[in-house]
């Protein structure tokens, strides 16, 4: 059978969409393998979210496809596995011209990705996705050097090498051997490569692609240094769910949902300094409850205090209910349950022990996914992976200390929900991980690590 000798920008974009669909479809499977370095069951979710961020960047239609994929993945990378995935896409971007890829470029891209990952990780561990990537790159380079080798042959042989390397990871890591699993990140990398082969072969994907519409709403998040009040006046009309979390008098973290993301970003750059810019395509949030695959409507309820937390919940398609209100839930509805709310019996509940756990669950909610059981499973995984504690005192010093104590057991991001105005940038520098801080008056401080 004849296969294309190259993939152009359109093919590269299609590959990315396939990869998002496959990683999302198999997220729970990959999460279940996640026992190293921290058994927090989020590798599949991290890789899916990182790839979604890459595709969201491409779908803004701005610039070279390969470069946009790399930038979106780097900006939106979650966890170690997401970071490594982003370096694979960066390798592709830096090896290709005009977003066209063939066997030789594919091999060069993987070899370059190995170099990038080696630079990024100070103490690489064998038996992880790093090993799978290196073995795949070596095989790709070997096949690409052979006379008359085809693009299809290079990718096929590379996948075979990656699968073999993945199967051998338990013999290299005691943690994997004890759990009887292969490396989760390595499994995700194999899925990424398999999606590329499927695109080359023109196979029909068995999962829905991540295909935002041309006028899709984007979540725009960035750190801003300048007059945030002036910026608010200029961008408030450009979108919804605008949240400005002040880090100091002249700096703030900005969050907005907009179909005019380009205008938001241009305005921000004109008004001050912008850093840590992230774009992510949002699922279509329906004005009415979603229709599930059983033909039933579905509403997700969460009891949260009014203000920024409620706004974040609504932006994800969740019905925010203030404490004390009665929830009338039944059938396919989902309730984020703290055990304290008044409600009718619901078919599905996601138990949460804190606001941080609730926000973690909300962050992975998929309004357009008609499989309610799958949605609930993902939300429960996210809530359970959040370790939460309260500082001894309501001070920034006590919050930083508690963050360090929680991170001692591992973690990649700290969430702080506090009545205090916390400097995300300052705390992130002190703790050495990403920090998300939400100011909510009148509540005791919660610190969550995922």
pLDDT, tens digit, for every residue of 287-339? 334 445 555 567 888 877 777 777 777 766 788 777 666 677 777 888 887 76
Residue 180 CB coordination number (10 Å): 9
% of residues, the chain, pLDDT over 90: 21
Helix, strand, coil in percent for the chain, rounding step 5:
50, 20, 35
> What is the C-alpha to C-alpha distance for residues 131 and 108, in angstroms, rounded to an integer?
17
Residue 292: the pLDDT is 53
User: How do residues 157-211 score in pLDDT, each as one tens digit?
Assistant: 999 999 998 888 888 888 888 777 889 899 999 999 999 999 998 865 544 444 3
User: How do residues 350-394 score in pLDDT, each as one tens digit?
Assistant: 888 788 888 888 878 877 777 888 888 888 888 888 888 889 889
Q: Where in the chain is the domain with CATH 3.30.70.120?
A: 218-281
pLDDT at residue 429 greater than cutoff 80: yes
Residue 423: the pLDDT is 83
Residue 202: the pLDDT is 83
82-88: average pLDDT: 89
Q: What are phi and psi of 445, to 5 degrees?
A: -65, 135
| Residue corresponding to tokens 């799958």 | 374
Q: With bands split at pLDDT 50, 70 and 90, how would you rate the model's confidence at 38?
A: low
Residue 363: the pLDDT is 78
Structure tokens at 181: 């699993």
Radius of gyration of the chain (CA): 22
Higher pLDDT, 250 or 105: 105
Which pairs from 255-261 meet CB under 8 Å and 24+ separation? 255/219, 255/220, 255/221, 255/312, 256/219, 256/220, 257/217, 257/218, 257/219, 257/220, 257/282, 257/315, 258/217, 258/218, 258/220, 259/215, 259/216, 259/217, 259/218, 261/60, 261/218, 261/220
Q: Are strands 300-303 and 297-298 parallel, antiparallel or unpaired?
A: unpaired
> What is the C-alpha to C-alpha distance for residues 302 and 314, in angstroms, rounded to an integer?
10
Residue 214: the pLDDT is 39
10-15: average pLDDT: 91
Structure tokens at 129: 């996705």
Rounded to 10°, the helix 151-168/184-201 angle is 160
Residue 41: the pLDDT is 67
Q: Where in the chain is the domain with CATH 1.25.40.340?
A: 9-201
Which is nearest to 164 in space by CA: 144, 143, 142, 186? 186
Higher pLDDT, 230 or 206: 230
pLDDT at residue 21 greater than cutoff 50: yes
> What is the C-alpha to C-alpha distance for residues 396 and 398, in angstroms, rounded to an integer?
5
242-266: average pLDDT: 76
Residue 252: the pLDDT is 80
Higher pLDDT, 217 or 412: 412
Structure tokens at 119: 């630079």
9-201, what's its fold? 1.25.40
Structure tokens at 414: 């700290």
Q: With bands split at pLDDT 50, 70 and 90, how would you rate the model's confidence at 221?
A: confident
Which is nearest to 73 in space by CA: 141, 12, 157? 12
- Reduced to 3 states (helix: H, G, I; strand: E, B; else coil), residue 444 is coil
> What is the C-alpha to C-alpha distance for residues 136 and 51, in angstroms, rounded to an integer?
20
Residue 340: the pLDDT is 54
401-427: average pLDDT: 85
pLDDT at residue 155 greater than cutoff 80: yes
Residue 286: the pLDDT is 35
53-67: average pLDDT: 83
Residue 207: the pLDDT is 43
218-281, what's its fold? Alpha-Beta Plaits (3.30.70)
């Amino acid at each position: 059978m004849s296969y294309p000798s190259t993939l152009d920008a359109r093919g590269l974009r299609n590959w990315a969409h396939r990869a998002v669909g496959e990683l999302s479809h198999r997220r729970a499977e990959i999460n279940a393998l996640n026992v190293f370095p921290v058994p927090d069951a989020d590798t599949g979710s991290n890789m899916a979210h990182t790839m979604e961020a890459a595709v969201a960047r491409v779908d803004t239609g701005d610039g070279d496809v390969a470069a946009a994929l790399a930038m979106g993945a780097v900006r939106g990378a979650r966890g170690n596995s997401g970071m490594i995935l982003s370096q694979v896409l960066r390798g592709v971007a830096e090896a290709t011209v005009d977003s066209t890829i063939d066997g030789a470029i594919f091999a060069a891209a993987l070899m370059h990705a190995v170099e990038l990952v080696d630079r990024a990780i100070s103490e690489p561990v064998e038996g992880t996705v790093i090993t799978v990537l290196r073995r795949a790159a070596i095989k790709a380079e070997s096949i690409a050097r052979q006379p008359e080798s085809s693009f299809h042959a290079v990718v096929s042989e590379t996948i075979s090498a990656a699968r073999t390397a993945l199967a051998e990871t338990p013999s290299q890591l005691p943690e994997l051997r004890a759990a009887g699993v292969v490396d989760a990140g390595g499994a995700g990398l194999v899925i990424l490569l398999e999606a590329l082969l499927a695109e080359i072969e023109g196979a029909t994907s068995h999962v829905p692609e991540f295909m935002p519409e041309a006028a899709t709403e984007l979540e725009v998040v960035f750190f801003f240094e300048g007059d945030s009040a002036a910026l608010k006046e200029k961008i408030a009309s450009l979108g919804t769910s605008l949240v400005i979390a002040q880090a100091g008098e002249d700096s703030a973290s900005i969050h907005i949902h907009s179909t005019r993301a380009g205008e938001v970003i241009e305005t921000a750059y004109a008004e001050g300094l912008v850093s840590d810019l992230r774009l992510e395509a949002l699922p279509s949030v329906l004005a009415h409850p979603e229709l599930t695959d059983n033909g039933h409507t579905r509403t997700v309820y969460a009891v949260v205090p009014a203000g920024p937390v409620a706004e974040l919940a609504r932006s994800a398609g969740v019905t925010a209910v203030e404490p004390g209100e009665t929830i009338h839930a039944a059938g396919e509805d989902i309730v984020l349950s703290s055990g304290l709310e008044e409600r009718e019996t619901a078919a599905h509940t996601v138990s949460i022990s804190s606001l941080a756990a609730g926000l973690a669950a909300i962050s992975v909610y998929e309004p357009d996914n008609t499989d309610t059981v799958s949605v609930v499973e993902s939300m429960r995984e996210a809530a359970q992976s959040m370790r939460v504690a309260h500082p001894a005192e309501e001070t920034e010093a006590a919050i930083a200390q508690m963050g360090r104590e929680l991170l001692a057991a591992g973690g990649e991001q700290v969430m702080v929900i506090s009545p205090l105005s916390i400097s995300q940038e300052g705390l992130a520098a002190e703790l050495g991980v990403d920090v998300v801080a939400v100011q909510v008056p009148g509540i005791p401080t919660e610190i969550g690590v995922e």
